[in-house]
């Protein structure tokens, strides 16, 4: 018959076997230390960690057994060196001996020698007080978290690197799930969009920032990536930006989509300006062709005058004419007419040359009169009644004379062409200048031509818009750009009776503003 004592012993033996099995096979370092901190029992994981035989480490102090660098250095043995006073492994064990309280997963470091090198293991130490055969002992568990720490460190470094990179580039980066809801918003989002990080967060989804048409989900599904989407967006201040957007499916999580946005507004502007500059040049050459006949006529006048005066002078020197005053007068006429011819030629050269804007203070009335010289022949040929209503009190304006002359020529040419089918007696062109305000001068050109339909009016300033069979459709768009670059306004409207009026403003030169 089995007694109660035997039953208890059996149960005890059973639980000891259970404990031993768990202890020996536990995947964490587990050992028992006595009050002198000598290792009394160590499991398989401890033996592997210490890289020594079980019999070699039993009886060693904990530090020695685990190859702690300081215990090997110190003759006084583990637990008494200077470092040991601060060693968390030691202190945790000691505390459990002194207070009888256990500790759970205290993070500590264990410096040890591995071959010639020193290494540090990051560990989590847990201690439990135990009575073994009436002796106070402490069960120590060490979890080696070195690899986890190193991975964490590498991850933290790479995360830091990514964060620094993302916040220092001017591109904006976002991630969304497959419904477009933000899962990542770059911290520099304000650079392009003007909205703060928090504001974008409240938007919730990418379509509020990039527009609902930004993603073609089927195409992304098919290609995995959509590159170089040009998208126009309005920032917080209402400014329009051109963006180049790349969209890519990434495998961070099922359905994650990466958006990178580059602001190409400046680049587009530069391209546009280069295009405009090219148009200016084309237009100048075009105008030049049309002016060729006018030029021949213009040069003909001074050249004829020079010829006849030179003839008179020759006759005077041959003794045919005695009047010396007459001779002088003829020589002066030769001089002024030669100057005039020279000016005309210089003018044409300046117009053909592709050069940068050169602002100066100019008299608009003078410029209008000079420009009319180039188109004078056409006006007379078409019998157009020209009226100049140029204000006497005109201040100078800040402008590039060559460019404004180009605007005037475009308008004059268009007005003349618009009146081609108008009855001769009704053909009239009025050019008016006024000081519109303290800072602004206004130029109006009113013709009595065909006028414009509302459809034409809407498209007038679009490049290459023309209603003429041989038209280029660049004159008005170039003129518009020129006036805009001069900080002026440019407009056109149909007259209530017949024809159209084109107008533009120019800023009064600074030195003239107070001369009202």
Chain positions contacting ligand ADP, by CB under 6 A: 410, 414-415, 418, 447, 449-450, 452, 456, 460, 465-468, 471-477, 500
Distance CA 461, CA 4 (A): 110
Count of CB atoms situated within 10 Å of the CB of 398: 18
Distance CA 229, CA 385 (A): 55
* Positive or negative: CA dihedral 72, 75, 77, 78: negative
**Token pair 């005037």: residue:** 408
Distance CA 503, CA 491 (A): 5
Minimum CB distance to ligand ADP, residue 465 (Å): 5
Label the pairing between strands 360-362 and 397-399.
Answer: antiparallel
Minimum CB distance to ligand ADP, residue 283 (Å): 9
Identify the DSSP state of 181: B
- Residue number, 90 or 422, with CB nearest to ligand ADP: 422
CB 364 within 8 A of CB 443: yes
- Residue number, 434 or 466, with CB nearest to ligand ADP: 466
- Residue number, 387 or 467, with CB nearest to ligand ADP: 467
- Residue number, 200 or 291, with CB nearest to ligand ADP: 291
Minimum CB distance to ligand ADP, residue 479 (Å): 7
CB 68 within 8 A of CB 112: yes
**Token pair 């005066």: residue:** 309
Question: Which among 442, 381, 446, 440 has a CA at the least distance from the CA of 411?
Answer: 446
Residue 294 in tokens:
């006018």
Minimum CB distance to ligand ADP, residue 497 (Å): 14
Q: What H or E segment, with its residue span, contains residue 476?
A: helix 475-485
Minimum CB distance to ligand ADP, residue 321 (Å): 51
**What's phi and psi for 177, nearest 5 deg?**
-85, -175
- Residue number, 390 or 456, with CB nearest to ligand ADP: 456
- Residue number, 113 or 292, with CB nearest to ligand ADP: 292
- Residue number, 166 or 472, with CB nearest to ligand ADP: 472
- Residue number, 161 or 388, with CB nearest to ligand ADP: 388
Residue 439 in tokens:
């800072």
Minimum CB distance to ligand ADP, residue 297 (Å): 22
CB 45 within 8 A of CB 25: no
- Residue number, 341 or 460, with CB nearest to ligand ADP: 460
Minimum CB distance to ligand ADP, residue 253 (Å): 55
Identify the DSSP state of 66: T
Minimum CB distance to ligand ADP, residue 500 (Å): 4
**Token pair 């190859």: residue:** 67
Distance CA 12, CA 35 (A): 25
Distance CA 292, CA 345 (A): 11
Minimum CB distance to ligand ADP, residue 466 (Å): 3
Identify the DSSP state of 205: B
Label the pairing between strands 428-435 and 385-390.
Answer: parallel
Minimum CB distance to ligand ADP, residue 289 (Å): 13
Residue 306 in tokens:
């020079």
Count of CB atoms situated within 10 Å of the CB of 153: 11
Question: Which among 193, 174, 200 has a CA at the least distance from the CA of 257?
Answer: 174
- Residue number, 330 or 414, with CB nearest to ligand ADP: 414
- Residue number, 476 or 483, with CB nearest to ligand ADP: 476
Minimum CB distance to ligand ADP, residue 364 (Å): 19
Beta-sheet strands, E only, within 316-439 = 360-362, 385-390, 397-399, 428-435
Distance CA 65, CA 72 (A): 10
């Amino acid at each position: 018959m089995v007694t109660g004592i035997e039953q208890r012993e059996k149960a005890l033996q059973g639980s000891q076997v259970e404990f031993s099995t768990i202890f020996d096979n536990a995947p964490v370092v587990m050992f028992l230390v006595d009050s002198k901190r000598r290792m009394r029992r160590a499991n398989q994981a401890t033996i592997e960690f210490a890289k020594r035989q079980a019999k070699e480490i039993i009886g060693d102090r904990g530090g020695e057994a685990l190859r702690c660098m300081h215990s090997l250095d110190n003759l006084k043995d583990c637990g008494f060196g200077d470092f040991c006073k601060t060693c968390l492994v030691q202190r945790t064990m000691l505390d459990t001996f002194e207070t009888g309280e256990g500790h759970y997963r205290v993070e500590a470091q264990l410096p040890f020698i591995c071959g010639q090198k020193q290494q540090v293991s990051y560990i989590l130490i847990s201690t439990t007080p135990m009575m073994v055969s009436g002796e106070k002992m402490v069960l120590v568990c060490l979890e080696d978290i070195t690899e986890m720490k190193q991975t964490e460190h590498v991850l933290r470094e790479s995360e830091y690197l990514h964060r620094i990179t993302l916040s220092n580039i001017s591109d904006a980066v976002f991630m969304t799930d497959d419904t477009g809801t933000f899962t990542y918003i770059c911290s520099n989002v304000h650079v392009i969009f003007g909205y703060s990080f928090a504001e974008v967060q409240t938007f919730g989804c990418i379509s509020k920032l990039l527009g609902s048409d930004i993603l073609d989900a089927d195409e992304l599904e098919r290609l995995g990536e959509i590159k170089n989407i040009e998208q126009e967006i309005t920032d917080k201040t209402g400014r329009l930006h051109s963006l180049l957007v790349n969209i890519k499916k990434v495998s961070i999580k099922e359905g994650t989509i990466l958006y990178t946005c580059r602001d190409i507004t400046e680049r587009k502007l530069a391209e546009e300006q280069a295009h405009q500059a090219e148009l200016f040049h084309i237009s100048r050459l075009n105008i030049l062709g049309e002016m060729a006949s006018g030029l021949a006529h213009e040069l003909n006048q001074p050249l004829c005058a020079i010829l006849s005066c030179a003839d008179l002078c020759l006759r005077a020197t041959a003794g045919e004419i005695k009047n010396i005053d007459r001779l002088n007068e003829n020589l002066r006429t030769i001089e002024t007419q030669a100057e005039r011819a020279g000016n005309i030629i210089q003018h044409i050269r300046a117009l053909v040359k592709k050069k940068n804007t050169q602002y100066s203070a100019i008299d608009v009335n003078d410029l209008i009169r000079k420009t009319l010289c180039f188109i004078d022949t056409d006006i007379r040929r078409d019998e157009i009644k020209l009226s100049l209503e140029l204000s006497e009190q005109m201040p100078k304006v800040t402008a590039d004379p060559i460019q404004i002359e180009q605007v005037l020529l475009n308008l004059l040419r268009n007005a003349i062409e618009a009146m081609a089918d108008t009855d001769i007696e009704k053909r009239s062109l009025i050019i008016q200048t006024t000081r519109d305000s303290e800072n602004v001068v206004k130029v109006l050109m009113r013709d009595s031509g065909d006028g414009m339909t509302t459809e034409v009016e809407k498209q007038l300033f679009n490049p290459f818009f023309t209603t003429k069979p041989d038209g280029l459709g660049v004159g008005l768009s170039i003129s518009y750009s020129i006036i805009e670059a001069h900080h002026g306004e440019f407009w056109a409207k149909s007259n209530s009776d017949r024809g159209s009026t084109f107008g533009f403003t120019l800023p009064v030169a600074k030195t003239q503003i107070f001369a009202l």
